[in-house]
Amino acid sequence: MAPLDVLAIAAHRDDAEQTCGGTLLKMARRGHRTGILDLTQGEMGTRGTAEDRKREAEEAATILEVSWRQALNLPDGRVENTWENRLKVAQVIREQCPAVVILPYWQGRHPDHYTASILGYEACFVAGLAKVALARQGLPGQSLPPHRPFKIIYATLYYDIRPTFVVDISEQFESRLRAIMAYRSQFSQQDAGRDLFPAPSEIRSRVEAMARFYGMLGGVTYAEPFLQKEVGLVEDLTVIPVKSI
């Protein structure tokens, strides 16, 4: 299997669709291999079951044209940054060899989200340690060589912070919305969680408002926000995108 170009690591099924689904689709349509690693099965969700979320995640993955998707078995609602969990994620990183990893932002309302951010970062570091022995899943005799992604970026849609950059998803917006709405167990009209989830009639307007806001920052119609910790490198001042005035 060819290495992944971009791997999104998310705490729950539907997180990646909401925070970077348009970007994943855009990368796929540019010929890049993309993937999603969901850390939990979704068994503690207010709505639906883990089985529902699995079916919906498969449908959403097809819409977003991702090449690979897998869910680990970390407890939903109790994602912890332990050595054992770091090894589970590091094993996937070594197997899939992503060049770019997208993580959740390291602050937020849901503990699983910000823990997944730190866990994902430290797993990327562990995956590059040559003396940490990890075998391929189901093949204990096949050791995996060390690997670290070249770039780690953070999807910031769940947290109110100014992004480092945005990705234009104007052409991918409708498909991204369809991928979100594939999670019928979460976003259909129902009594469970009515105080937590928006009404189905409001979802499009909310998703569109956020995408338009970040698009405005980049001078496009719709965009998704990201942050990088590194200072950006510019070779030619005349080709820096986004007007200043």
Q: Which domains does the chain have, with CATH numbers?
A: 6-239 (3.40.50.10320)
Residues 152 and 175: their CA atoms lie apart, in Å, by 25
Residue with tokens 């797993």: 123
Is the pLDDT confidence value at 202 over 60? yes
102 vs 44, residue with greater confidence = 102
> Which pLDDT score, from 0 to 100, does residue 194 have?
59
Amino acid identity of residue 17, one-letter, is E
pLDDT per position as a tens digit, 15-28: 999 999 999 999 99
Round to whole Å and give the CA distance between 242 and 22: 20
Q: Between residues 43 and 116, which one has the greater pLDDT?
A: 116
In sequence order, what are the beta bridge partners of 166? 225
Does residue 191 carry a pLDDT above 70?
no
**Residue 196, pLDDT score:** 64
Q: Is the separation of the CB atoms in 32 and 64 below 8 Å? A: no
Q: How far apart, in whole angstroms, are the C-alpha atoms of residue 74 and residue 57?
A: 17
Point out the least confidently predicted range of 84-93, 122-131, 141-150: 141-150
Mean pLDDT (the chain) is 92
CB within 8 A of 30, min separation 6: which ones?
Answer: none
Distance set, CA 171 to CA 23, 67, 199 (Å):
10, 20, 26
pTM of the model: 0.92
pLDDT surpassing 70 at residue 193? no
pLDDT band for position 141 (cuts 50, 70, 90) = confident
Residue 38 near residue 12, CB atoms below 8 Å: yes
> One-letter amino acid identity for 90?
A
pLDDT of residue 188: 65
Nearest partner of 16 among 55, 50, 66, judged by Cα: 66
